[in-house]
Amino acid sequence: MNQTAIRMEGLGKRYRIGERERYLALRDVLARTLSAPLRWMNGAKGKYGAKGNRHARTEEYFWSLQDVSLEIGEGETVGIIGRNGAGKTTLLKILARVTRPTAGHAEVRGRIGSLLEVGTGFHPELTGRENIFLNGAILGMRRREIAARFDEMVEFSGVERFLDTPLKHYSSGMQLRLAFSVAAHLEPEVLLVDEVLAVGDAQFQKKCLGKMKDEAAAGRTGVVVSHQLNQVRRLCERVVWLDGGRVRMSGPTAAVVSAYESAMLEDSAGQPARANERARFLGWKVRGDGSAPSCEVNTLEAQELQFSVQVFAAAQQVNLGIALRAADGELAWAWEARELAFERGRHELRFRFPMLPLRPGVYSWMIGLWDAQSCLDLWYAAPAMVVSLPNHQHPLEEWNGLVNVPCEFSVARHS
Amino acid sequence: MAETAIPLVAERAAAAGPAVTRITPPGTWLDLNLAEAWAHRELLYFFVWRDIKVRYKQTAIGAGWAVLQPVLTMAVFTLFFGRLARIPSDGMPYPVFFLAAILPWTYFANALAGATSAVVENQRIITKVYFPRVLLPAAPAVSGLVDFGIGLVLLAGLMAFYGIAPGPGALLLPVFLLLAVLTALGAGLWLAALNAVYRDVRYAIPFLIQLWMLASPVAYPSTLVPEQWRWLYGLNPMAGVIEGFRWSLTGQGQPPGALLAVSGMAVLLMLLGGLAYFQRMESTVADVV
């Protein structure tokens, strides 16, 4: 039975900006009210219009979210991506009930757990143990739930030794781990996560992602806001792209994320050369023999990789470096070319491979041009390259390496 | 028969499923969701626990402050008001007269100060997690009861010293205590809401408390007010609360009457008004705090 866990209809959020001061003082309100008749008599006009006069005041409004209608089913993990200021956090805040929408409505089925920040409510004077209870309670857990999962939380965070020390003596890394371990053991039906997975060291992030995937597997619904597209790819089946407060695209992860990356790229590609810019990589694509160009490798056919670069000033004796890294940063392949020459203008750099037999996953290209003076451009290519070949290696994942090359096997008897 | 009934009930419960939350824009009418606040009562306990723990951590005397404050105040007031100014004290020794009033008063003043800054101090969690915000000004109203309890022990000691036994009115003490809590809550809600929006309110608090104390029968009995104006005096909710406390704790003083009735009404109005105003503020608090 797959019910809708979250239904949003025409959600909108409007903020008032402009003349409204951030903090109001009662004395100002009183002064304004008392002097209103005076100002009216003087027929207040001038540079700021009738500042304080209700009728003539022009307040500016800013719609941070407009007409957002989405349905998220039970057990789905949906990612929300978009530029800064697109309204992602506002949407999450509305779902978390921290702020109320200006228009539209939403329905959420189940207990809502919001992870908009790690360590919400942590108090530096209290010990780690006390803060676990406090944080858990603030996040919505009952006392007996916290007590039941207490040991698990402590173990996950790894701060067992310091459990009875005041939090202010913890390092920021320890505080983070403690905060996340409490949040990770929150078991709501709907979990809202805002960029919190972006913090912490790589090893801990891996642990957190693993825990989140377990939650998803257990049938919990998740809404994840993140700028880290790799994480979004790993966690989410569906992605919603918010742009300027509206839903620009919504669909399967791969499609939406690629579209987003391409759009981001186009923005930077179209810009004129900046002050010291000598070259700029514009884009890349890969094409298998007999396929259309894309960012995906899905056959063992020969592949042609192509990078476009715009050179603003001619250069000689240029060296090229290129590297391919797997999702966890492991280096898969690298190469260099020396003593190239470039005229001004646009160039295509082509690399032809007999095949790219890589373990299925997400990979990132890095390419750079240098000459004796400086680096012309170094580019961490986006979008990432997706390899979706069938597995030609050992059936067990722990025995899968980067080189996903098929082999022909036979046994011959030695007589 | 019973066997078929039970699975049916369980089925119905399962079919109801997890709770559905409706998220809507703030409405124009009052939207008191006290049921939700009650469901979150454990969180109130945690806020109170946090406030008390933090208050006494790393302090030299710790809970001793709950005793020191009333004792010193009583000593100073007894000297200047009781002895030198010779304010009448309803037939009981001035120290007892004063202490029986300063205890509920201190509770009220602390709850008020705590409530005013409650929303602003907790601004970080308000903007990140949802819980009924009314718990925030309620927490100081509850945590103040601890200090009050400690003070009561002190009062008992003092009364024993003077040989004063509480009368039958002592049974009504829980009623007066409840009234004090409701007053603290009512005033606290107003101030918490006002301070969240107009930030200069908290500067007025020490001043407000001082004036309010002078307007309440703490250092002097309410009989000082002429009979025909006493009902007006009763509009101060703390007037009824304090006289009531004094009467029930010591068995002497002013028994409940018109004053208490007027004060009681004032408390109710203040509380309802406070809840309404707080509710209105609550829907926008995360945007302005």
Phi, psi of B281 (to 5 degrees): -70, -35
| Rounded-to-integer distance, Cα A383 and Cα B256, Å | 78
B3 pLDDT band (50/70/90 cuts)? Answer: very low
| Rounded-to-integer distance, Cα A6 and Cα A3, Å | 9
Q: What is the largest CA-CA distance in chain B?
A: 82
- Whether pTM > 0.90 for this model: the answer is no
CB contact under 8 A, A134 and B50: yes
B286 pLDDT band (50/70/90 cuts)? Answer: confident
Burial zone of A44 (CB within 10 Å; 0-12 exposed, 13-18 middle, 19+ buried): middle
In a domain, residue A361? The reply is: yes
pLDDT of amino acid A45 = 46
B283 in contact with chain A, both atoms CB, cutoff 8 A: yes
Helices (H) and strands (E) in chain B, counts: 13, 1
Task: Give which of B13, B36, B5, B226 is closest to B135, Cα–Cα.
Answer: B36
Q: Classify A329 in phi/psi space as left (phi over 0), alpha (psi -120 to 50) or beta.
A: left
| Residue of A67, A69, A98 best to disrupt the B interface, most CBs of B under 10 A | A98
Q: B120, B196 in Cβ contact below 8 A?
A: yes
In a domain, residue B11? The reply is: no
B127 in contact with chain A, both atoms CB, cutoff 8 A: yes
Residue B129 is nearest to which of A15, A114, A123, comparing CB atoms? A114
In a domain, residue B210? The reply is: yes
Pairing of strands A385-387, A361-370: antiparallel
B25 in contact with chain A, both atoms CB, cutoff 8 A: yes
- What total number of domains does chain B contain? 1
| Rounded-to-integer distance, Cα A220 and Cα A208, Å | 16
| Rounded-to-integer distance, Cα A311 and Cα A376, Å | 8
- If one counts every other C-beta atom within 10 angstroms of the C-beta of residue A376, the result is 23
Tell me what the mean pLDDT of segment B252-264 comes to.
79
- Which range marks the domain in which residue B38 is found? 32-279
In a domain, residue B146? The reply is: yes
Helix/strand/coil for A337: strand
Tell me if ipTM is over 0.95: no
Which chain B residue lies closest to A121 (C-alpha atoms)? B125
CB contact under 8 A, B57 and A125: yes
- The count of C-alpha atoms lying within 13 angstroms of the C-alpha of B132, restricted to the half-sphere facing its C-beta, is 21
Task: Give which of A195, A160, A193, A192 is closest to A178, Cα–Cα.
Answer: A160
In a domain, residue B225? The reply is: yes
In a domain, residue B122? The reply is: yes
**Sheet arrangement for strand A303-311:** A279-288, A303-311, A345-353
Residues 6+ apart with CB under 8 A from B217: B101, B224, B239, B242, B243, B246
In a domain, residue B271? The reply is: yes
Lowest mean pLDDT of A259-273, B60-74, B128-142, B246-260, name the range: A259-273
- If one counts every other C-beta atom within 10 angstroms of the C-beta of residue A365, the result is 23
Q: What is the pLDDT of residues A5-17, one digit of tens each?
A: 899 998 998 887 7
Decide if pLDDT at B219 tops 80.
yes
Which chain A residue lies closest to B45 (C-alpha atoms)? A137
Mean pLDDT of chain B: 82
Sites in chain A below the pLDDT cut of 70: 1-2, 18-28, 36, 38-59, 196-202, 265-273
Which residue bears the tokens 């009623």? B175
B120 pLDDT band (50/70/90 cuts)? Answer: confident
CB contact under 8 A, A24 and B18: no
In a domain, residue A156? The reply is: no
Assign residue A387 the CATH number of its domain.
2.70.50.60
Percent of chain A with pLDDT over 70: 87
- Please give the structure tokens belonging to residue A62: 């800013």
- Which range marks the domain in which residue A359 is found? 277-392
The span from the first CA to the last CA of chain B, in angstroms, equals: 59
In a domain, residue A50? The reply is: no
B205 in contact with chain A, both atoms CB, cutoff 8 A: no
| Rounded-to-integer distance, Cα B111 and Cα A162, Å | 34
| Rounded-to-integer distance, Cα A189 and Cα A180, Å | 18
| Rounded-to-integer distance, Cα B187 and Cα B209, Å | 11
- Please give the structure tokens belonging to residue A82: 């978009």
Residue B53 is nearest to which of A99, A120, A130, comparing CB atoms? A130
- What total number of domains does chain A contain? 1
Return the higher-pLDDT residue of A206 and B120.
B120
| Rounded-to-integer distance, Cα A214 and Cα A219, Å | 9
pLDDT of amino acid A49 = 39
In a domain, residue A59? The reply is: no
Task: Give which of A264, A187, A253 is closest to A219, Cα–Cα.
Answer: A187
Decide if pLDDT at B191 tops 70.
yes
At position B66, the amino acid (one-letter code) is: A
Distance of CA A194 to the CA centre of its chain: 9
Q: What is the pLDDT of residues B8-58, one digit of tens each?
A: 443 443 444 677 888 888 776 666 677 788 888 889 999 999 888 888 776
| Rounded-to-integer distance, Cα B139 and Cα B185, Å | 9
Instruction: Give the H/E segment covering residue A282.
Output: strand A279-288
CB contact under 8 A, A97 and B23: yes
In a domain, residue B127? The reply is: yes
Which residue bears the tokens 């392949």? A333
pLDDT of amino acid A39 = 65
B23 in contact with chain A, both atoms CB, cutoff 8 A: yes
Distance of CA B209 to the CA centre of its chain: 13
Q: What is the pLDDT of residues B79-88, one digit of tens each?
A: 888 888 888 8
pLDDT of amino acid A329 = 84
In a domain, residue A315? The reply is: yes
Q: Which residues from B are below 8 Å from A133, CB to CB? A: 46
Residues 6+ apart with CB under 8 A from A41: none
B200 in contact with chain A, both atoms CB, cutoff 8 A: yes
